[in-house]
Amino acid sequence: MVEQALKLKQAETLPDAGGHFGVFGGRFVSETLMPALEELDEAWRFYLKDPDFLAELDRDLAHFVGRPSPLYLAENLTRQVGGARIVLKREDLNHTGAHKVNNTVGQGLLARAMGKRRVIAETGAGQHGVASATIAARLGMECVVYMGAEDVRRQSINVYRMKLLGAKVVAVESGSRTLKDALNEAMRDWVTNVDDTFYILGTVAGPHPYPAMVRDFNAVVGREARAQMLTEYGRLPDALVACVGGGSNAIGLFHPFIEDTDVAMYGVEAAGRGLSGLEHAASLCAGRVGVLHGSRTYLLDDDSGQIRHTHSVSAGLDYPGVGPEHAWLKDSGRARYVGISDAEAMKAFHALTRNEGIMPALESAHAIAYGLKLAAELPKDQIVLVNLSGRGDKDINTVAEVEGIEF
Amino acid sequence: MNRIDRRFAELKRAGRVALVPYVTAGHPQPQSTVAVLHSAVGAGADLVELGMPFSDVMADGPVIQNAHERALAQGTGLQQVLDMVREFRRQDADTPVILMGYANPIERRGAARFAAEAAEAGVDGLLIVDCPADEADELKEQLQAQGIHQIFLVAPTTTERRLDHAARLAGGFVYYVSIKGVTGAASLDVDALAPMIEKVRGHIDLPVAVGFGIREPAQAAAVAAVADAVVIGSALVDRLDRCDSTEEAVAVTRDFLAPVRDAMDNSVPIQAEQTVRTT
Ligand SMILES: Cc1ncc(COP(=O)(O)O)c(C=O)c1O
């Protein structure tokens, strides 16, 4: 118990200077990228303590993003489930429709403070691309978004949104033509153009300092939720639930609660067509430790160490790795990771839409699905707090396609 | 003695600069790789670098990325790469072989097992592109136990502190990346090279190889005037990509490397104003 408390105390100070969360994380990148990462690390450490920078960030989060996002008690679903109360953290109400903007506003301001004129980003579902294009438009910066060709097809509406915002969208044709390949391509751009270019990475994966920096920019979710729980419910929740792609919305919610050991944490991965096969994207539930995209973490690969193609109905969870801090939280036992299938997520999508009038992103629908399961097992006096990381407008075409509806 | 050390000692005595071609194992066809390596040595290569195919080659440009994808599609994994080295060794006991690749396939095999198998196959050096000195301690131990050198990349931007760190772990030679960017980018600035190489030599007491962005004989010759080894990758891989047979790949390798060797051996050290630019 004491040891556990010590370990969790340590969590507050993780990662170490090299970006390690225990054995995870680090900086597994080519030497050519190192100076860029060191420059970024230094800038981030500096501005994280700079009162002017933080004041501007707060102002933008309030007036541009629309924070704080409310907590919402899902009374209808709570009644139907008949167990613990289900409370949603409404990141779907943010400007651009997801938690991703918390991070892009932060990194955008950092890019400007560092004197960079051009920003680049990778995107899967397109949410992070849209959020990056949005902050670039607002700050008057050139923006290039790398997106797997397969995702360009799946998320055509977001591609058009990015173009309207003035971003150039580059369809990446290599590898599996999805998020992981877009990330490779963005890294290549960054090494080549590092003098004037800032790489806005969209999740808590990648080489240090990204996992820590993106966490810090998204931790506003957990800080707000914790304070809102105390004022509105007079107590902390009994469990937190969030979906995990790379893990940014989950870590954003979890991090401020890490030392609250009575609060259980559940990260929900995409179990796709089932964890027993190969068509899923659940690196923590079904993967093993390796090195991908600059950090040591859990990932999905074959026996010769090649990164596998993954599957999820939601493009934002369709990623073969996961942020190293989640790997650490898993191994330390502080958080638990579970899988939700495509079918379960689709069911939850409809359940929330029809019963509460809230259409969730398919990523978030995974968290909703597990939240409903968990609430059903818990007594009525408990509270399950689910991160509703984004709204579902972007997914309408996918939902229609899955259900065989043609417009 | 490791073959790399022996080879650089010989070259030094002969006053020659090493030519080091890079090819991706299994590209353009798995059956052509060993023949291509022999052809390279026949055309004057002193060391050979063999790429271990990986699905996510973050530090490589489109040419080498494509080579990795084609090699993987034809089933070339770590096991096949080691088999190729073993086969190469049957006819060539002297030319050092350096494997170049990414961390995850080695992580999956386990560092100790990989090091033992690589040594047994006849590997002399290992360059893991995404494993900088900061993360290399564990692997280093396993490689050292098997007499394999760990080769590190250094860049124009590598700080003195990082050079010193690499110096503590590096063996064989150090690989100076001559451009900012991925492999195959065309922007080698030969003028800037000499002072940078001097800086590297000030920290690391090993031969310095220069690579990334060298694609023609004149450039190779210019680089040879200041470095201990010239690495040519993308330009060769690009030509191999168009080969449909082993015979063709062997001929293309020879025809491309022989003039490079020739230019390196017969050039007078260049003057500062004779800058060579890529097209
Ligand atoms: C709404 C939403 N939730 C979750 C994710 C998954 O990312 P992460 O795990 O970093 O929160 C995405 C990614 O695109 C998203 O758009």
Q: Tell me: the pLDDT tens digits for B29-50?
A: 999 999 999 999 999 999 999 9
**CB neighbours of A231 closer than 8 A, spacing ≥ 6?**
none
Residue A35: the pLDDT is: 85
Numbered residues of chain B with Cβ closer than 8 Å to any chain A Cβ: 53-59, 61-62, 65-66, 69, 72, 77-79, 102-109, 129-132, 134-135, 152-155, 157-159, 162, 177, 180-182, 185
**pLDDT by residue (tens digit) across A152-192?**
987 888 999 999 999 999 999 988 888 999 999 999 999 88
Q: Would you call B180 and A33 a contact, using CB atoms and an 8 Å cutoff?
A: no
Closest C-alpha to A179, from A213, A209, A211, A154: A154
Question: Angle between the A362-377 and A342-356 helix axes, to the nearest 10 degrees?
Answer: 80
Tell me which chain B residues have a C-beta less than 8 angstroms from the C-beta of A26: 134-135
Measured in residues, chain B has a length of 279
Tell me, which fold does domain A67-97+219-402 have in CATH?
Rossmann fold (3.40.50)
The CB of A361 under 6 Å from ligand 1? The reply is: yes
> Rounded CA gap, B247 and B38, in Å?
12
Query: What strands, in cross-sheet order, belong to the sheet with A288-292?
Result: A20-21, A24-25, A295-299, A288-292
**pLDDT by residue (tens digit) across A299-334?**
999 999 999 999 999 989 999 999 999 999 999 999
- CB-based contact B96:B7 (threshold 8 Å): yes
Question: Angle between the B217-224 and B246-266 helix axes, to the nearest 10 degrees?
Answer: 50
- CB-based contact A155:A126 (threshold 8 Å): yes
Strand pairing partners for A85?
A383
Residue A157: the pLDDT is: 87
Catalytic: which of B49, B117, B124, B228?
Answer: B49
More confident residue, A13 or B55: B55
Could you tell me whether strands A295-299 and A288-292 are parallel, antiparallel, or unpaired per DSSP bridges? Answer: antiparallel
More confident residue, A61 or B186: A61
| Whether the predicted pLDDT of A4 surpasses 60 | no
> Residue A250 CA: which ligand 1 atom is closest?
11
CA–CA min distance A177, chain B (Å): 11
Alpha helices in chain B (DSSP H): 3-14, 33-42, 62-73, 78-91, 103-109, 111-121, 137-145, 160-169, 190-203, 217-224, 234-240, 246-266
Q: What is the DSSP string of B123-181?
A: --EEEETT--GGG-HHHHHHHHHTTPEEPEEE-TT--HHHHHHHHHH--S-EEEE-SSS
Residue A150: the pLDDT is: 87
A294 interface with B at CB cutoff 8 Å: yes
**pLDDT by residue (tens digit) across A332-365?**
999 999 999 999 999 999 999 999 999 999 999 9
| Whether the predicted pLDDT of A118 surpasses 80 | yes
> Rounded CA gap, A195 and A117, in Å?
10
More confident residue, A33 or A79: A79
> Rounded CA gap, A332 and B11, in Å?
53
Any idea what DSSP says for residue A390?
B
Alpha-carbon Rg for chain B, nearest whole angstrom, is: 17
More confident residue, A11 or A61: A61
Examine the predicted complex and report whether its ipTM is higher than 0.90: yes
Residue A3: the pLDDT is: 56
**What secondary structure, in 3-state letters, does A306-323 show?**
CECCCCCCCHHHCCCCCC
First-to-last alpha carbon distance for chain A, in angstroms, is 58
A321 interface with B at CB cutoff 8 Å: no
Residue of A nearest to B106 (CA): A305
**pLDDT by residue (tens digit) across A249-287?**
999 999 999 999 999 999 999 999 999 999 999 999 999
Mean pLDDT, residues A31-52 taken together: 93
Please determine, looking at this structure, whether the domain spanning B3-278 carries the CATH number 3.90.380.10.
Answer: no
Q: Please report which helix (H) or strand (E) contains residue A217, including its range.
A: helix A210-218
Closest C-alpha to A178, from A121, A123, A252: A123
The CB of A109 under 6 Å from ligand 1? The reply is: no
Query: Taking the C-alpha atoms of B135, B137, B140 and B144 in order, what is their torsion angle to the nearest 10 degrees?
Result: 170
Strand pairing partners for A98?
A390
Closest C-alpha to A365, from A127, A180, A123, A92: A92
First-to-last alpha carbon distance for chain B, in angstroms, is 41
User: Which residue do the tokens 């060769």 mark?
Assistant: B236
> Rounded CA gap, A279 and A272, in Å?
6
**pLDDT by residue (tens digit) across A193-216?**
988 999 999 999 999 999 999 999
Q: Would you call B177 and A187 a contact, using CB atoms and an 8 Å cutoff?
A: no
> Rounded CA gap, B240 and B249, in Å?
6
Tell me which chain A residues have a C-beta less than 8 angstroms from the C-beta of B155: 31-32, 34-35
Q: Please report which helix (H) or strand (E) contains residue A373, including its range.
A: helix A362-377
- CB-based contact A246:A322 (threshold 8 Å): yes
Q: Would you call A27 and B135 a contact, using CB atoms and an 8 Å cutoff?
A: yes
Count H helices and E strands in chain A, helices first: 17, 14
Tell me, which fold does domain A22-61+100-214 have in CATH?
Rossmann fold (3.40.50)
Strand pairing partners for B208?
B174
Q: Would you call A31 and B152 a contact, using CB atoms and an 8 Å cutoff?
A: yes
Query: Taking the C-alpha atoms of A205, A68, A146 and B130 in order, what is their torsion angle to the nearest 10 degrees?
Result: -20
> Rounded CA gap, B200 and B153, in Å?
11
> Residue A127 CA: which ligand 1 atom is closest?
16
Q: CA–CA distance from B158 to each of A294, B168, B213 (Å)?
A: 18, 15, 18
Mean pLDDT, residues A229-258 taken together: 98
Residue A1: the pLDDT is: 44
> Quick one: how far is CA A47 from the chain centroid?
22
Any idea what DSSP says for residue A257?
G
pLDDT along chain B (279 residues), means of 10: 96 97 98 98 98 94 94 97 98 98 97 97 97 90 96 90 92 88 68 90 96 90 96 96 98 98 80 40
Residue B269: the pLDDT is: 53
Residue B190: the pLDDT is: 79
Give φ, ψ of A44 to 5 degrees. -65, -45
Could you tell me whether strands B125-128 and B97-101 are parallel, antiparallel, or unpaired per DSSP bridges? Answer: parallel
> Rounded CA gap, B51 and B29, in Å?
13
Residue A178: the pLDDT is: 87
The CB of A245 under 6 Å from ligand 1? The reply is: yes
Cite the residue boundaries of each domain of chain A with CATH code 3.40.50.1100: 22-61+100-214, 67-97+219-402
Strand pairing partners for A172?
A148
Q: How confident is the model at residue A8 (pLDDT cuts 50, 70, 90)?
A: low
Could you tell me whether strands B48-51 and B18-24 are parallel, antiparallel, or unpaired per DSSP bridges? Answer: parallel
Q: Please report which helix (H) or strand (E) contains residue A52, including its range.
A: helix A51-60
- A244's tokens: 């995990």
- CB-based contact B217:B196 (threshold 8 Å): no
Q: Would you call B78 and A184 a contact, using CB atoms and an 8 Å cutoff?
A: no
SS3 content of chain A, % helix, strand, coil (to 5): 50, 20, 30
Number of other CB atoms surrounding residue A30 within 10 Å: 23
> Rounded CA gap, A234 and A222, in Å?
16
**CB neighbours of A237 closer than 8 A, spacing ≥ 6?**
A87, A229, A263, A383, A384, A385
The CB of A246 under 6 Å from ligand 1? The reply is: yes
The CB of A127 under 6 Å from ligand 1? The reply is: yes
- CB-based contact B211:B22 (threshold 8 Å): yes
